[in-house]
Amino acid sequence: MSDTTNLGEWIGNNSVRTIRAQTVTLDGALVGKHLSPKKFESGAQSGWGFADIALAVDLGNTAQLGFDFGDWRGEMHDVFLRPDLTTLSTDASLPGLATVMCDLVDQHGAPLPVCSRSTLARVVKELAELGFTGKAAVEIEATVFEESIEQAREQRFTNLHPLGGTQGAIYLLSRSRDYTTLMDAMAARIERAGIPWEGWADESAHGQIEVNLPPTDILTAADWYVRTKQIMREVAYEHGRTITFMARWSPDQFGQGAHINLSLQQDGRNAFFDEVEPSRPSETMRNFIGGVLDTMAAASSFQYPTVNSYRRIAEFDGPPTTVTWGVDNKSAAVRAVCTTEKLSRVEYRVPSADVNIYLSMASFLAGGLIGLRDHSDPGLDAPSWPGDCRREPRSCQPASLERSRN
């Protein structure tokens, strides 16, 4: 649905009793309101009042009034949740409920400068002005625990037991019984919410799972990421389990990322694919990667948003710690996949699982956009495996919390 013309009919046909209007805070937390059909219809064009304090409290519920009082806050009046009606959908698992993703706008209908979703949409639009559209998929990593959320809260999230035990390694089907019931339920819920899924697997760390969704347009990929995380949480809780998307919940376990896979299309073709030399990046891909590398250190603030994010980026632990790229090289920050037109893409391996995915993608794309405009060069082609990977110690990412201050 893209306009309000048949909204009442759509609500009636789908027996909707409640609409959940949702967006994210700067911390990436999904927030929203539950609306009656009447209220929903009345604000479908202008939006609904939303206290701006949602953007001005931290995850500990403390107001962050000391450092900034942006112009957008005015006199602390309401801001507005304006629905993107193209995202209106029902969830067959929750009869009567519909959800819609929203942007945050001011009383005049202008997007708030601190609206994460609008910021990503704006960068996508700038890419379109250069003649590119994007397809993206974000890898979702989480850890599931045997305890219920109530039990986990009581234990203050300590001494929890990862699902599947604390022995064994990645992909082991010997513990599939531990996972299958829960993951079948998650996959079914994801599907019934209108989000296609490609696969799930037991990952490297104990209790860790990865869920893969197919590539789609960039804004939808971000919407699917936050909606799928919410579904995974709800299903885990319903099954008496606990789940976390922390970047690293224990020093004894690998961390959790949110790798972004992206291709750009131009004139109906994959612009990252080089027809002449399919095993090498196209000029467009090189320019894009060049810009991403040039801005990587600065953008790392969006990729490592919390204190905990920095615990994930340890040398030789998997996540990249340097400004590097390579062809099909998973030790680099940017992995260029150059095979066929269908598969050629850039995998941005920097983001941790606790990112605000809209700002993570926006800053990644912004770097690529700058590279395309400036015809940036990423430097030497980095062949397949370490050693040759481009490393620039003088322009490393801030690989520790301490260094992130500078």
Q: Does 275 bind another protein (CB under 8 A)?
A: no
Name which position in 220, 270, 282, 295 contacts another protein (CB under 8 A).
295
Q: Does 244 bind another protein (CB under 8 A)?
A: yes
Draw the binding track, 48-87, toward another protein (x: CB under 8 A; -: no contact): ----------xxx-x-x-xxx-xxx---------------
Integer angstrom CA distances of residue 224 from 16, 61, 104, 250, 356: 21, 26, 18, 27, 13
Q: Does 114 bind another protein (CB under 8 A)?
A: yes
Q: Does 161 bind another protein (CB under 8 A)?
A: no
Q: Does 390 bind another protein (CB under 8 A)?
A: no
Which residues on adjacent β-strands are paired with residue 97? 18
Query: Would you report the helix, strand and coil content of the chain in percent, each value rounded to 5?
Result: 35, 20, 45
Name which position in 4, 36, 301, 395 contacts another protein (CB under 8 A).
301
Name which position in 204, 212, 216, 250 contacts another protein (CB under 8 A).
250
DSSP state of 108: T
Name which position in 74, 95, 96, 113 contacts another protein (CB under 8 A).
113
Distance CA 245, CA 302 (A): 16
Integer angstrom CA distances of residue 131 from 29, 239, 282, 343: 32, 46, 16, 20
Q: Does 299 bind another protein (CB under 8 A)?
A: yes
Integer angstrom CA distances of residue 90 from 45, 217, 221, 248, 377: 19, 20, 18, 33, 45
Footprint of another protein on 319-358 (CB under 8 A):
353-354
What are the DSSP calls for 129-166, one per residue? HTT-EEEEEE-EEEEEESS-HHHHHHTTT-S--BTT-S
- Taking the complex as a whole, the smallest distance from the CB of residue 230 to another protein amounts, in Å, to 12
Length of the chain (residues):
406
- Taking the complex as a whole, the smallest distance from the CB of residue 307 to another protein amounts, in Å, to 4
Residues in contact with another protein by the rule CB under 8 A:
26-29, 58-60, 62, 64, 66-68, 70-72, 113-114, 119, 122-123, 126, 149, 152-153, 156-158, 244-251, 294-295, 297-302, 305-308, 310-311, 353-354, 359, 362-363, 366-367, 369-370, 400-402, 404-405
